[in-house]
């Protein structure tokens, strides 16, 4: 199982943690939107017993182990489009996304 960060995403994670504090960026999913799921982002002030830690390009992210099935194998990038900037997932587990791009559905076996 793996989650990787591009250099741009890792740099953004390091900058945000330097400003705010914390040990890692917490990634996850939540039920949301018209397609079913959306990504969630938060700061991790400590690593919990049920967390999986990933280190990529000198940045740390944590994911609750029960949520890894949704985002395993993903690469996270940080992109700037006009005045907007955000983290973007390249997630091999996605089947479909909604029109606005905010939510997604997962492949079924």
Tell me which of 102 and 54 has the higher pLDDT.
Answer: 54
pTM of the model: 0.85
CATH of domain 4-106: 2.60.300.12
Number of H helices and number of E strands within the chain? Answer: 2, 9
pLDDT of 50 reads: 97
The neighbouring-strand residues paired with 104 are: 37, 97
At a CB cut-off of 8 Å and minimum separation 6, what does 83 contact?
A: none
Indicate the domain borders of the chain.
Answer: 4-106
Residue 33 binned pLDDT confidence (cut-offs 50, 70, 90): low
Averaged confidence pLDDT in the chain: 90
| Residues 89, 93: Cα–Cα separation, whole Å | 11
> Is pLDDT above 80 for 70?
yes
User: What percentage of the chain exceeds 70 in pLDDT?
Assistant: 92
> Is pLDDT above 80 for 6?
yes
């Amino acid at each position: 199982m793996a989650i990787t960060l591009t250099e741009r995403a890792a740099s953004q994670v390091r900058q945000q943690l330097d400003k705010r504090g914390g040990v890692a960026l917490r990634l996850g999913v939540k039920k949301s939107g018209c397609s079913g799921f959306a990504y969630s982002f938060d700061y991790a002030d400590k690593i919990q017993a049920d967390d999986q830690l990933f280190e990529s390009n000198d940045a740390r992210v944590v994911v609750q182990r029960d949520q890894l099935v949704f985002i395993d194998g993903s690469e996270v990038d940080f992109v700037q489009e006009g005045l907007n900037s955000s983290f973007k997932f390249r997630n091999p587990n996605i089947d479909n996304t909604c029109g606005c791009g905010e939510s997604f559905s997962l492949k079924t076996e």
